[in-house]
Structures are given as structure tokens and as C-alpha cells.
Structure 1
């Protein structure tokens, strides 16, 4: 681009009627008019680029923020001084005691992972890790809630291996253990897989850093990878449009990740923090430099001056617009006092991380960006970062909701004989959603860093925070989209309570929530109703449970043509455990122990795995949410540490699948006696339930503990042997059900790609 062609502020002022590609950049006509009103002129090309990415659905939350504000109000009521940073920051930060804090957050990288599965998923991990770094925390673990189309679909076979390899390749190279997640299959995700990524980090209270640019004259330093043409428009535009039936409606370049550079960036940034060289910091994710400059400036003293031509480039032909829109990975922006700049650059050089001073903080209230001495951006930064459009999109309960809810699964034909019950147990165990996920998890390093306590195969992931005291944290992510389709208010609460229960089964006390709200097009009133109801349900339940929402992500336009995904409000719950060496395992550990059922079983089959797998049915009302019962159960599970020898929540697949998983892991069988209807006892998905074991002679202690909190308790039987036995109904050898459970993914997908090939084949 020659200087004569450069669209500067002075040119924009003298050429007000120039045609601009605002629609092609995803802006609406009224949004473009609003930009002109803010500036008092037409925007330059660079300004238009900034507004287009920052006012996109992905970056501005313009369709969702009216519903999200209730989470901020909730945090003030429920944080009880435990939240050190929350909504509006890069990630939530919570006090966990002993001077430690943890930062955690879950975000989406859905549409890029459909376009280019490996890089889409890999850069999803990279992006969430940088959010944690930006808070001053050392990342210690990741998780990956995933959703795919049917296991036998051709496109699932295209995207699943690449997504899994991307998650594993990037996380493994960073040296971060993957401690859990989900892999769920449903036809609505065909053509629109969900790749949600979670990261948790650890810091001391005094190491907390926030994203703001304060101090006139302080220098703005961009460090990390060079800026290239990959990801121009990237997730900020791609995640703001729906896909058509034949593929993505828009295909900007998906970001390309370099995990080895990110590892250097982590260590470099943590040393910069340790040496107190940073005043403010922001990672460069969605919207790249447009986001980092505008958000830092608006959160600080309100002004910043940037020399865009000082940005290190991989491609010298990039225009100012492209540089501002690029979402190249592994980049950070820091605000540094002038006297610390030399030391800052020296640390970067030590870690072989390129850094450049590209600007300074001002008190002008303007974000001014120059390109070779010509001003191409002069805007109030808050209008870019925080004052985008806010839509009160119309929403209405869809006409089909009543018909859907009236079609309950309780009327479906049920197995009646012991042989039929036995076959149903095997069928569910081998179903894609309940089967063994080792095909996926063996591609991840679960134990690198040496502090993983629980990972794949357990109800929750758990990591040790302090090696001297054994203080630790536990995390679970969950969501049953079928429940949310039947009743989005209850469905969001059911996602929350399952994660809450999973954390408690290991012995950790649930503390706080992060969420990733995945829905279809906000332009569909039915989808917006689902979203509004899910937000309301999550807020109401968090208020009762005392678990603030610390932050998260909204991902909209998840649909192919007119087919929206199941509403999928993924909820992550983080809990604290004082001594990880005393955690409760999820599987039976020895023969001769007594098995108890905690909680009440009701006739609740709608939305269940049994209805889905056996009858391909979705209808009725989801299981009842009983928040008081969930709290009481959690108290028993947490106070029962040391008494309980194993604990496994009851959720998808009911008691049947809990018995299967509890038996297979250590090869310890079980014999149970079910009172009443054996089918309901096995396959109901009533909530607030868990199976637990205690050593022989400790039964009365458990019964007293359950009575203390008013939790129903029933003795089921005894561990031991090599079979799962339901007395009077059937006997099922562990080896037989294990073969069915383990075979599903390998039979469908073949042998896994060796991790080395998966990683190095994409570098």
C-alpha cells in the first residue's frame, strides 16, 4: 500500500462519501451509521476493521449481554470475598486459602475447529491458556468438553481425529496435563462440532495482574510471535455467523498455533511478573491488536498512542487493516514503566521471545494509531471495546415446546425380564456417549508436571496446588443438551448440579462456576428464549448454591442451515480440597465393602440416555432439580472423606452405568439388591444421587452422616467377585461389559494416530 492509497483520518474527513465494505465485514447498516455518528465522519479502513471485529457477536456479546448482566449482580451477592477477579477480566480468580488463588475459565473455539479441526482446536487451547497467563497465574491443567455429530457420520470421522489431535498436540507440547472433559455425540452437532477449552492456573494473591493501561508515558510493548496473515477476521467473524448446509458461510483463515512459542511466552511472562516489570497486560486472542489496544486503553487512563508500523510482521505486505484484524497466536501486550523497558526487553531476549515497543499510554481519552507517520485510527477506545451495539433480541417460547414436553419417555416400552435388563446395561455401556473414551484421552498427557491427582475416568479432575500442604482443586465440566432442549431453565441447572456433584464426590467443596453457553442463531426467537431461560436458570441455581459465575464465554450461531444444535450450556465447577491425599476415588477399590445409594430415585426417564439410545426418543420433562438435596448430598460427600472408600455420582445412564464404571476400572465386581422396579432402579436419571462404599463395620457411621444432613440412604449390596450382579435379575461378567464398553470408539475410528505424528505432522 502506497502512502497515496492510505486511508488516513484526514482523508476520511475530506472524503465522506467513499463506499466502504461494512456489510462484508459483518456490520449491520445501523451499526455502520452508529460508527459514523461516534466519529463525526466516516471511519477509515483501519477504524472500520477495528469496529467490525470488536462489534462482532463473538467479541461484543451484543445479543447476550442483556442476559449476562445478571451474573455480575450474582457475583456480588455470592462471592463472599473469595473472588479476586471476575467478569470483565481475562479470567476469574478465586482465593482458595493459604495465600493461594486459582484462575480458571472455559471458552469456545467451535467454528474454527470445523473449518480446520487440528488448528482450530489447538489454538482454542492456546487462547484459553493465555487468558490464564494474563491474570498472573501459572497454567497447571486443561480440560476439553467436546461435542460431535453421530459417531458413524462421515464428517465426524473428519473432524474428531483432528480436533483430538489438536487438543493433545498443543497441550502436550506446553507440558500441561489434560485432567478431564467430555465427548458427546448427537446429530444436531453434525457440521457444527463444539470445542470448548478450559484452563486452570495457580498464583499467589500478590501476583494478580489486570488488563488495563494506566500511567501517562508508560510504554506499550507487543511481545511473542510475529503478526501474520493467519486468522485475519478469524474467530471474531467466523463465530458470528451461522454455517450453511454445505459448509461455513465464511471461511477466513483459521489461526495457526505454535505451542513451543507459547511455552516460551508462558515462562517469559511469569518471569516478567516475578520481577515486577508489568503494570498491565492483555493477551491477543479474538480481534487481535484491535482488542488488546482498545481494551487496555479503555480500562486504564483512557488513551493510547500506537505506531502500527513497529509491529513485528511475518508478512511485510500486510495492510494496517489486516494487522489490526489478524488473530495470529502466541502474542501478548504489556504496559511497562519507561525505567523498566530495558529490563523487560532483556527478559524477553533471555527466553528468545521477540518484543517491540509500539506505543505509549496517554491521557487524551483517544486511541490513536499511526502508520508510517500518518494517522489511520483516532477513536474513543471505549466505543470500540465496550460500547458496541446491545440487542434486546426478540425471544419467545416456541410453539413446539408444549408438544415436546408432553411426549414423555415414561410411556416407552421397557425391558421386563432379567435377560432384557442385562442386555440394556450392555447396550448403554457401549453407546457413544457412555463408552470408554480412552481412544481420545490416551492422546493427552494426563500426568505431566506430577501434580495430577484425578483425571480421565474419574468424576472430576483434580490437581495438587501446594506440594507441602497438599492443598488442591477439583474441576468438572458437564451439560446434557437433551435436558436443555426439553427445558432450558432446568437444563442449565442440571448441568450445574452435575458438575457440582462430580466435584463433591472426590471430596472437594464446590466454590465457583465458569460457563460456556453454546446455542444456535440469536436471530431465531426460539433460540433466544432457550438462551434467556438457561441464563436465568443458571443464575437462580448459583444463587442458592452460593457458587458465583466468575466468567466464561457465549458462542452463538451454532447451527447448520435451519438446524440449531441442542442448547448446550456447559458449566464448569471448581472446588477446593484441603488435602488431595485424602480424596475419594470414583471406582470400587476392594472386595467386601458395603455399597450404599444416597438420594431418592424417581420415575424420571425423559431425556435419559436409555430413551436416547434404545428408542431414539427425545421428549417430556427432564429430571427434577432439587438444589437443597444437592447441597445436602455434597455435604455428606465432603464430610465423608476418610469414611467413604469410593463415590460415584449418578447421572447419564443412571445406577446402571455407575455400577459399570465403578466395577470396570479396578476389576472389582458388585452384587446389589434393588427394591421395587428394577428397571427404574437401574436406568432412572434422578438427580442428587451417588453410590458410595464404606469398609465393613462402618455402615452405621455412614447412616449417621446421611441422617445429619437429611440425605436418604439405602444399602444396595457388597463389592467383590468378577461380575455385576443384580439379585433376582441377572449376572454380568465385568469382562463382558468391559469389552463392549471399550470397543466402541476403536471399532468406529480405528487405531489412534501416534501422538508424535499428530503433533509434528502439523508443525
Structure 2
């Protein structure tokens, strides 16, 4: 091993060349670090700054756009936000003394490099974020994006990603209650693996990431630190530091869900015993992140002795220990009098725990290795005061031409036979087909509190067994809409998730987002990101719900080809009594089918244009947020009053797909009659719309309720039989429909 590059050596040898560029830093960023420290950084300090100032950790290209979410009111329709942007996850009051925390994050690039572990550790990381707020994790979701179903790359990554999500979540005993699987050629070589977790806590159990109280001890507990994931955040190889060091290490973390399960139960017992003064999970940037964020959010001082960090690999250099993203680790701040009890609970759960440092009054983060100081920095400069870029952005030159190329001129099906064939083709298409090949690999009902799960419009979890209090969550994004108009596309993503929550009978109260885009160094991409943020903020303001946290993932592109802009939006809702939920899909024969909302000839960016013509152009469906809010109110109030027996939103694939899914859910047919052009009626993707079923005796009261809210209603048919019938056009036996809908993924993936 080369001579240790200590803080003293850095001061004495200011001219030593350092691999700042290889670590992902820019020349001006390296110069700024030298300015902050008044000297060159030691190699350990350089490692910390490089990972903490990376795009993934510092949001340096997106901060200027994300700050507008902080301008939103933090009041929700049912209570207040207890913790918001800047914490590990948002925490929202849902009544009865309960709070819910939820957040969505990305693990895109690791999942391309090593699909199983990349996806698995994505789930593990978001679960620890939820745990760090003082909550018990209760459910996960997984919005996924892949290249075309027939692409070799998709066949390489999809099975591993799905197995990783399922394997980790199933071992933790967490139900997977929803998500998406979307296919598009822009995701070849860059799949998106977004992971969401929901946790439940009592108000008094809320914990924050801060290191306060001089003399309090800093305890590292969980798995030992290894060489996996070193530089994972900044996609970095370890030989940057020492040519004669260990062989190149994997950049993807390796997960152990059984250790995480022990870590969860151990941490919850530590919370219950009142032994935790502050806590932070170790995810991206590992110890670099946990130490600097805890110190900067507390009293500002911390001393850590790296010699005390339990290692799986004794050859690790201090830089590598600080950069390792080994999984299943937490860092807690503990009062001295509580350390013995803390360590005893960890021992009970067979979780390694070691006092590695203490809170100080120095205002500095100071780290020693073998008796020498290798880090001495102001912690806030590492964790919070990284670079902020106002990257140039401009509406792309090609945007006008793209929007001018609408779907109006595309050849359309005519007559019953062509409409029938089109409906079957769309039902069997990768984005609309049955996803049970994926979701059957997930345990959706473990823990016994799952009320709704895939393929319902939203997932729902019971929070309180006695009262029936529960929460519903949905994630959504149509990347084609966002490509056509990123401002409207982000709003449509929010609107669909909002609508999906309302169709279940829950009141939408909060948003988390995962903004997946291409390179921020491309002004076209930055314009897409800026417009999506602006659209999401404006829509949240109109709907009266806050953004409580989220994630930005940039550089999602292969060569010069960026992914479709994919601002995934998660909406959380609350329902007073889960027994009064509204199911997705027809539940009985002989009920009236009512269409809610207005259908317009809006086919640009639709599944029909995509599947049948491979076309993307025009403008997306019109956004009408006041109408969206009124439709949601109708769905919630009618569900609570027991007037509707089922509800399903209309989105991808239009009315046709909603009818397909509603029929096949319980093998109940339907006969509908459509006014006007049946092609537009079946396949347009106008928003906001939904279909509901209403028993004969409740129709009049439902119509009065809809009229009071100004929601257009049209009776389009009645449930029953064993076919999907469009009167005057065609009929399809449900057996034939199910064969088309359910065979696609098994045929492609085995």
C-alpha cells in the first residue's frame, strides 16, 4: 500500500497531482474544494467530495428546478406534512395518531450492469430510507421500464430485474402492491428500475437524520463494510486510488435481504426502547454520506475512527471504506448512557454494532485511520453545499415539428372486423397485456394487510385493524406524452396516479416523484426536466397536494439517444375504512356501466398510434385539473356512499382497454353502445375519465351527485354474458380475449 495521504501530508505537499477528473469532478469543482479547505484535499477527503458532489447525491443539475416544490403548501387535504423535502422520506399525518412515510427512488444504472443485484439493492435502499424515519416498512412498488419486448437487451435484463425486486422484497416479508412495466425502444441499454416503499408510524415515533448532543456516541450497525459498490454512485473503479491495491471491485452493491430483515426488526426495537437520538441509513455514498449528513444536520461536529468500522475485507483503504456502498447498514447517534442497552438489542438480533465515533463541538467532520487524521472538513460543504448548476436549456428545435405531426392523418380501422382486430392487437401489446408473469413473482399479500394490489388501479394497505384506516398508492407516467409536451406530460402522470387512487375510494393527499431523464449537459434534456418540474409544481398547487420528496436520475441514455422523459409520479391517498374500498373490474352481471368525463378525438401519443403505426407525434391529451379534482371527488363520495360497485380509470388504451381489464378481472362480460365514431370512443385517451358500475336502484342518486359536481355522465351499457360486445360493431368471447391478453409475456419470456 502506498504512503497514507493524511490531512497533514495534504498541507505539506500542496502540489501532488490527484485523480479528481477520474473521480467525476470538474476542474472548477476541484478548485472549489481546495478553496473550502485552504489546501488540497487528502485522498480520503477527495473521495468523500467526489461521491457526495456527484449528480446522484447532490442534485447539482436539478436543484434550481426542484426548489419550486418547496414553495407548495405542506398542508394536505387531511392533515399536515410532518417531514418533507430534505429528509430521508416524506412523512404525512393521516389521522388517528398515525402517519405514513413514502418515497420513490431509482436504481437504473446498477440494474443494467447487474440486473438482479441492482434491482434488489434498489428495493433494500428505499426500505432503509423509510425505516430511518422511525416507520415500519409495510409495502413496496416497482415502476419499471424496458426496451422492446423482443430485444436481446430486454431478455437479458428483465428476468433478473424482476427476480431481484421479488427476491429481496419477498425475503423481507413486504408485499409488492403495484407498479408498472412499460416497453419502449429508448430504454434499450438503459432500463429504469424505480422502487417505492411505504411505512407506517405513530406521530411520536418520528425520527430525523441529525447528530446532536456533544459527547453522544456514533454507532455503526448492520452488515460489515466490504468492497462491493465502491464508487457505485459515481460509477467509479477503485484502482483510481492505488494501482497495487485489490483487483477492480464491482460497482454494483450486493444485497442480503435476510440481514436487512434483522436490521429492520432490530431498529424498530431500538426505536421502541427510546435509544436512538438520530439515525441515517447508509445508501448512496455510504459512510461519506451518513457521517457528513448527520453532522451537518446536527450540531456540526463529529469524530470517527475508521479503524473501528467492521470490515469484510481487511485490505480496504480508508478511501474505499468511505466510498463503499455495502448494503444493510445504519448509523445511529446514541446517548452514552444508552450505548450498552443499544448494543444488547443489536446482539439479540445478531446484528453487528460498533461505536465508531462521537458528536463534537468542533464544527468539523474529523476522521482518523491508524492514528492519523485523513479527513478534516466542514461537514455541510460535503453534504449540502455542493455545486449548483444552472445548466442552459431551451425548447428543442425539433419540438414544433414533432407536435405538428399528429395522429390525425394515420390510417384508422373501419367497420366491426377491423375494430375487433385492433382491440385484440392492443390488448395483447406489451404495454397493455397481462403483467402477471411479473407480478406472480412477488408476494402481494404477506403481512395480511394488503387490501388491493396489482392489477387494481392502485395498491391499498390497511393501517389500523380496528378502525379500518388505510392508504392507497399509485405510480404512473406516460413517457410518450412527456416527449410530446413535458409540462403537460408531467401533469398527466400526476393526474393518472391521482385518479387511480380516487377510483379505489381513497382521498389523494401527497406526492413523491422519480424524475428520469437523459444527460443534463444536453439543453434539450434540461428543457424537458425544467418543464416537467414546472408542470408538476403547477398541478400540485391546483390539486392542493404537496410534493414530500423524491429522486432525480439523469444521464439515462445510450450514446446520443436519451430515454423518453419519464417523470414517474407516485400519489398516496388515505381511506377511513378499507372495507368501503371500490374494486377495479366488474363484480356482478346486470349492472349499469356509466362513462364519466368527456371523450375527445385525442389519439396522439396513444397506445394505438404506438402499437399499430409506431408513431409518436402531435400533442398529448388536454389537461383539465379542476375536472380531474371533481371526478376524484365523485369517485370518492360515491364509493363512500356505496353507490358504485366498481371503478376503473381510462388511460392507456382508452375505453377499449378499460373494458378488457374490467371484464377479465372476474370473467363478467359487457355489452356497450357508443355514440359517434366508435374508433374514437374506443381508443382515444382523453383525460380525466373513468367507468363505474352502478346497480339499477342507485343510478338516480349517482346522477344527482355527478350533476352537483359537474361531471359528465353517459350510460354506455350493462354487465353480463361471456363476451365483450360493442353493439352494431363486434363481439369477442372472453376466452378469446383472455388468450390474447395473457399470452404475450409468457410467449416472449418463457
Q: TM-score range by the shorter chain?
A: over 0.9
| Structure 2 contact 232–251 (Cα < 8 Å) conserved | yes
* Equivalence for 1:337: 335
* Equivalence for 1:378: 376
1:660 pairs with 2:660? yes
Which runs of 5 or more structure 2 residues have no equivalent in the other structure? 238-247
Q: Name the CA distance, whole Å, in 2 between partners of 1:234 and 1:260.
A: 22
More displaced 10-residue stretch of structure 1: 695-704 or 26-35: 695-704
* Equivalence for 2:694: 694
Please report the TM-score for the alignment, with normalisation by the length of structure 1: 0.96
The alpha-carbon distance between structure 1 residues 398 and 322, as it changes in their structure 2 partners (threshold 3 A), is: same
Q: Name the CA distance, whole Å, in 2 between partners of 1:46 and 1:561.
A: 32
Q: Name the CA distance, whole Å, in 2 between partners of 1:681 and 1:540.
A: 30
1:82-102: CA deviation from partner (whole Å, max 9, x where unpaired): 100000000000000000000
1:581 pairs with 2:579? yes
- Of 159, 164, 167 in structure 1, the residue corresponding to residue 165 of structure 2 is 167
The alpha-carbon distance between structure 1 residues 80 and 661, as it changes in their structure 2 partners (threshold 3 A), is: closer
* Equivalence for 1:755: none
1:304 pairs with 2:302? yes
| Structure 2 contact 228–249 (Cα < 8 Å) conserved | no
* Equivalence for 1:644: 644
Q: Name the CA distance, whole Å, in 2 between partners of 1:165 and 1:737.
A: 28
SS in 2 for 1:323: helix
- Of 317, 341, 344 in structure 2, the residue corresponding to residue 319 of structure 1 is 317
The alpha-carbon distance between structure 1 residues 238 and 103, as it changes in their structure 2 partners (threshold 3 A), is: farther
* Equivalence for 2:86: 88
Q: Name the CA distance, whole Å, in 2 between partners of 1:78 and 1:260.
A: 36
Q: Name the CA distance, whole Å, in 2 between partners of 1:465 and 1:435.
A: 31
| Structure 1 contact 79–548 (Cα < 8 Å) conserved | no
* Equivalence for 2:283: 285
Cα shift at 1:375: 0.2
Cα shift at 1:76: 4.0
- Of 340, 345, 348 in structure 1, the residue corresponding to residue 346 of structure 2 is 348
1:96-128: CA deviation from partner (whole Å, max 9, x where unpaired): 000000000000000000000000000000000
Which runs of 5 or more structure 1 residues have no equivalent in the other structure? 240-249, 751-763
| Structure 1 contact 663–734 (Cα < 8 Å) conserved | yes
Q: Name the CA distance, whole Å, in 2 between partners of 1:119 and 1:313.
A: 20
* Equivalence for 1:747: 747
Q: Name the CA distance, whole Å, in 1 between partners of 2:722 and 2:353.
A: 61
Cα shift at 1:744: 0.2
RMSD: 1.1
Q: Name the CA distance, whole Å, in 2 between partners of 1:706 and 1:576.
A: 22
Q: Name the CA distance, whole Å, in 2 between partners of 1:63 and 1:522.
A: 7
Cα shift at 1:363: 1.4
1:199 pairs with 2:197? yes
The alpha-carbon distance between structure 1 residues 238 and 112, as it changes in their structure 2 partners (threshold 3 A), is: farther
The alpha-carbon distance between structure 1 residues 225 and 276, as it changes in their structure 2 partners (threshold 3 A), is: same
Q: Name the CA distance, whole Å, in 1 between partners of 2:196 and 2:233.
A: 17
1:561-618: CA deviation from partner (whole Å, max 9, x where unpaired): 0000000000000000011011001100000000000000001000000000001000
1:57-96: CA deviation from partner (whole Å, max 9, x where unpaired): 0000000000000011114476885100000000000000
Q: Name the CA distance, whole Å, in 2 between partners of 1:146 and 1:703.
A: 38
Listed as ranges, the matches of 1:291-690 within 5 Å are: 291-641=289-639, 642-690=642-690
* Equivalence for 1:759: none
Give the number of aligned pairs. 738
Q: Name the CA distance, whole Å, in 2 between partners of 1:726 and 1:703.
A: 24
- Of 185, 188, 195 in structure 2, the residue corresponding to residue 187 of structure 1 is 185
| Structure 2 contact 51–233 (Cα < 8 Å) conserved | no
| Structure 1 contact 56–236 (Cα < 8 Å) conserved | yes
Cα shift at 1:410: 1.7
| Structure 1 contact 59–236 (Cα < 8 Å) conserved | no
| Structure 2 contact 79–94 (Cα < 8 Å) conserved | no
* Equivalence for 1:242: none
Q: Name the CA distance, whole Å, in 2 between partners of 1:363 and 1:744.
A: 62
1:20-52: CA deviation from partner (whole Å, max 9, x where unpaired): 000000000110000000000000000000000
Q: Name the CA distance, whole Å, in 2 between partners of 1:24 and 1:80.
A: 49
The alpha-carbon distance between structure 1 residues 137 and 393, as it changes in their structure 2 partners (threshold 3 A), is: same
SS in 1 for 2:595: strand
Q: Name the CA distance, whole Å, in 2 between partners of 1:222 and 1:409.
A: 57
Q: Name the CA distance, whole Å, in 2 between partners of 1:731 and 1:130.
A: 50
Cα shift at 1:413: 0.8
* Equivalence for 1:703: 703
Report runs of 4+ in structure 1 exceeding 3 Å deviation.
75-81, 236-239
Q: Name the CA distance, whole Å, in 1 between partners of 2:501 and 2:130.
A: 21
| Structure 1 contact 496–572 (Cα < 8 Å) conserved | yes
Cα shift at 1:235: 2.8
SS in 1 for 2:666: coil
| Structure 1 contact 454–461 (Cα < 8 Å) conserved | yes
Q: Name the CA distance, whole Å, in 2 between partners of 1:495 and 1:57.
A: 24
The alpha-carbon distance between structure 1 residues 390 and 78, as it changes in their structure 2 partners (threshold 3 A), is: farther
Q: Name the CA distance, whole Å, in 2 between partners of 1:732 and 1:704.
A: 34
SS in 2 for 1:342: helix
| Structure 1 contact 366–381 (Cα < 8 Å) conserved | yes
Q: Name the CA distance, whole Å, in 2 between partners of 1:79 and 1:212.
A: 29
* Equivalence for 2:243: none
- Of 96, 99, 111 in structure 1, the residue corresponding to residue 97 of structure 2 is 99
| Structure 1 contact 56–237 (Cα < 8 Å) conserved | no
Q: Name the CA distance, whole Å, in 1 between partners of 2:547 and 2:699.
A: 37
Q: Name the CA distance, whole Å, in 1 between partners of 2:78 and 2:44.
A: 44
Cα shift at 1:697: 1.9
Cα shift at 1:253: 2.0
Q: Name the CA distance, whole Å, in 1 between partners of 2:390 and 2:334.
A: 40
SS in 2 for 1:474: strand
